[in-house]
Amino acid sequence: MALILRQPGTQPLGQFDGLDTILTTVKGGEVGTITGVAVNTDLAAADVEDGYALGGTTRPVITTALSSGDRPLGLIDDGNAPGYGTLFGSVLGATVGQQSFGPGSTGTVIGPHSAAASGKLTLWTKPGTYAVTLDAADTTLNSGLVPSNGMLSFGDPLYATTVGLLTPDASNAFESVVLARFLNFETNGSLVTTPISLVSAANSPVGEGQPQGQDYTEALFEFNAPIA
């Protein structure tokens, strides 16, 4: 539910109005592009309407709907809870232990999408090291950007689907351009929450006291999208 800035390329390209039809569906970490929209057909903050429009009728917006030839291509750094810590976060608890914070949380989100106030999305286009939570990538079993994909190796190319999800599957990409290189699957790195690998019941079906597998939550990658 978030783009994670590990060693990003200096500054983002900027903040741009998000296309209304995709704005609140963005989780963070998707690939987006800048396209044109007719003035007065898409909601925007007042300052967006304060510049020159192309031909007097078109202004720029960010969208995750990709088609061949779209440029520039960048990573979107806005989204919904819990990854972006909206005003009140998520409801935790209910039946004790049934709900938790983080990717896969079943807690009810309380508060708006991070782009709700401004209607804008941040776009990172410069080369760097980033991570994306797995729920915001291509989750196709055994072929997507998921730990179950045994074909993934260090340095494998990553593409984007027609809806902006990072994927290692070229056949599922909006075009054959390589946007990133896969590095690793990782946990959330928390030093407070006890990881599942350190917890095992005495009567565990995998053996007494035997640690369980890691709960991977994000994919680390090197981003270097083409400009032209």
3-state SS, one letter per residue, for 56-110: CCEEEEEECCCCCCCCCEEEECCCCCCCCCCCCCECCCCCCCCCCCCCCCCCCEC
Q: Are strands 166-167 and 218-223 parallel, antiparallel or unpaired?
A: unpaired
pLDDT value of position 197: 59
pLDDT value of position 40: 82
Among 7, 65, 5, 73, smallest CA distance to 37 is for: 65
User: Which letter does DSSP use for residue 126 in this model?
Assistant: S
The amino acid at 134: L
**Rounded CA separation 109/113 (Å):** 9
pLDDT value of position 110: 63
As a whole-number percent, the residues of the chain with pLDDT over 90 amount to: 52
- pLDDT tens per residue, range 184-198: 999 876 656 555 555
Among 94-108, 126-140, 175-189, 212-226, which is the least confidently predicted range? 94-108
Q: Mean pLDDT throughout 63-73?
A: 96
The residues, any chain, with a CB within 8 Å of residue 10's CB and separated by 6 or more, are 126
Which of the pair, 93 or 161, is modelled with greater confidence? 161
First to last CA, the chain: 29
Other beta carbons within 10 angstroms of residue 57's beta carbon come to 12
pLDDT value of position 83: 67
Q: Mean pLDDT throughout 9-28?
A: 91
The band of 68, judged by pLDDT with boundaries at 50, 70 and 90, is very high
Q: Mean pLDDT throughout 119-133?
A: 94
Q: Mean pLDDT throughout 107-135?
A: 85
pLDDT value of position 90: 59
Distances (CA, A) of 19 to 8, 62, 65, 149: 25, 6, 10, 32
Q: Mean pLDDT throughout 77-85?
A: 73
pLDDT value of position 226: 83
pLDDT value of position 38: 87
**Rounded CA separation 163/185 (Å):** 22
**Rounded CA separation 33/228 (Å):** 13
pLDDT value of position 32: 97
pLDDT value of position 221: 97
Among 66, 53, 82, smallest CA distance to 19 is for: 66
Other beta carbons within 10 angstroms of residue 135's beta carbon come to 17
